[in-house]
Amino acid sequence: METQIIKEEQVGFDNKLREAALAVKNGGLVAFPTETVYGLGANAFDDLACKNIYKAKGRPSDNPLIVHVSDMDMAFSLIREYDERFLKLSEAFWSGPISFVLKKSDKVCQTVSAGLDTVAIRMPNHKLALELIKQAGVPIAAPSANISGRPSPTRSEHVVFDLSSRCDYILCANDFPIGVESTVLDLSTEETVILRPGFVTANMIKEKTGIEVTSHDADKTVSVPKSPGTKYKHYSPKARVYMVEQDFSSSDIEGFAKEKGVSVDKTRFLSYADDVEMAKNLFADFRDADKDGFELILVKPAKDGELLEANLNRLKKACED
Ligand code: TXA
Ligand code: MG
């Protein structure tokens, strides 16, 4: 398959975006930027097109997709029941980095929800994403635009590297995203539960809407996980990743590497000044380390900040064997 790579700064970008939107509407695959990470999109009403997302990524078929919308009418077309919390939360946080899991309507194709009775919906806060959805005129199902298991793409070149010849278009933005995927919040039962931590935290939700939220990141251990994606190995570079303590310094690298049986010159030490910088760069730094042939990556995470939980969640997953 030939992939057209379209850059935001190129002449005629608007026409190309229109072409890409038409391709999505008609069953094609288009990778596009969002404010969190890049996504690989297909028409959420087109079962075959959504199946092609799984093929292109090598994604396990029981891991459902988030559906991206550009307005509230589109969102309502995807859900079955009116939910007071959804109205409050979408008003407070959309467009933005939070996805809501709700009981799905019949319009959502089976493949999107991977057999579940629910659908995850989000309105991304990125002008190219919103424009693509609006012009396609249909909601766009999109997981992160990486080959399954690799770090989520936070730069257009990551998408080009993973998905060239596996999709119809790649839209490349000029800006860099937040770098961690959206918060996934379950509203399908009475309890309001965070299934995946992200930029929007339980505190922010409580502060802005008064809604009490439970965190639920341990669902990897239960036999039927509430959010199927959380049970898979994720975000991993080829190199082995270890998290180190806050008092770790460059002088400790040699000893640590030796203990793991790796030479110092094959060991990359990453350390982050603050949570925003860490979120923005972690996945890109993983990919760079792989490209440069490192075998061991030691990460000293930013020690606090609003993105602490999301950062540690992604890092710990990368550390798992
Ligand atoms: O920021 C993001 O959310 C990015 C951008 C592209 O929007 N997308 C993203 O998609 O991270 P993905 O497929 O990599 O992760 C989706 C997560 C998975 O953990 C999946 O299991 C969960 O959302 N999910 C999707 N639909 C669900 C549902 N109906 N019930 C529970 N969890 C769901
Ligand atoms: Mg992903």
Name which residue sits closest to atom 29 of ligand 1, judged by CA.
119
Name which residue sits closest to atom 13 of ligand 1, judged by CA.
143
Q: Is the CB of 31 under 6 A from ligand 1?
A: no
User: What pLDDT score was predicted for residue 49?
Assistant: 98
AA identity, residue 71 = D
User: What pLDDT score was predicted for residue 232?
Assistant: 60
AA identity, residue 35 = E
Q: In percent, how much of the chain has pLDDT > 70?
A: 94
Distance 232 CA to ligand 2 centre (A): 10
Distance 256 CA to ligand 1 centre (A): 35
For the residues 54-68, what does the mean pLDDT come to?
95
Spell out the residues 6+ positions from residue 163 whose beta carbon is closer than 8 angstroms to its own.
3, 31, 40, 56, 145, 146, 147, 170
Q: Tokens 């039962």 belong to which residue?
A: 189
Asked if the model's pLDDT at residue 51 lies above 90, the reply is: yes
Confidence of residue 50 (pLDDT cuts 50, 70, 90): very high
Question: Are 21 and 114 a contacting pair, CB within 8 Å?
Answer: no
Distance 131 CA to ligand 2 centre (A): 22
Distance 152 CA to ligand 2 centre (A): 6
For 166-207, what is each residue's pLDDT tens digit? 999 999 999 999 999 999 999 999 999 999 999 999 999 999
Tokens of 89: 């939360």
User: What pLDDT score was predicted for residue 220?
Assistant: 42
Cβ atoms < 10 Å from Cβ of 40: 28
Confidence of residue 101 (pLDDT cuts 50, 70, 90): very high
Q: Is the CB of 66 under 6 A from ligand 1?
A: yes
C-alpha 196/C-alpha 230 separation (Å) is 8
Name which residue sits closest to atom 21 of ligand 1, judged by CA.
229
CA angle at 133 for the pair 131 and 61, rounded to the nearest 5°: 140
Confidence of residue 320 (pLDDT cuts 50, 70, 90): confident
**Residue 192, CA atoms < 13 Å, CB-side half-sphere:** 19
Q: Is the CB of 146 under 6 A from ligand 1?
A: no
Q: Is the CB of 101 under 6 A from ligand 1?
A: yes
Q: Tokens 């440069």 belong to which residue?
A: 292
Distance 215 CA to ligand 1 centre (A): 16
For 301-311, what is each residue's pLDDT tens digit? 999 999 999 99
C-alpha 55/C-alpha 143 separation (Å) is 12
Q: Is the CB of 142 under 6 A from ligand 1?
A: yes
In angstroms, the first-to-last Cα distance of the chain is: 33
Q: Which of 131, 177, 122 is nearest to 153 (CA)?
A: 177
Q: Is the CB of 182 under 6 A from ligand 1?
A: yes
Tokens of 282: 């972690």
Asked if the model's pLDDT at residue 231 lies above 90, the reply is: no
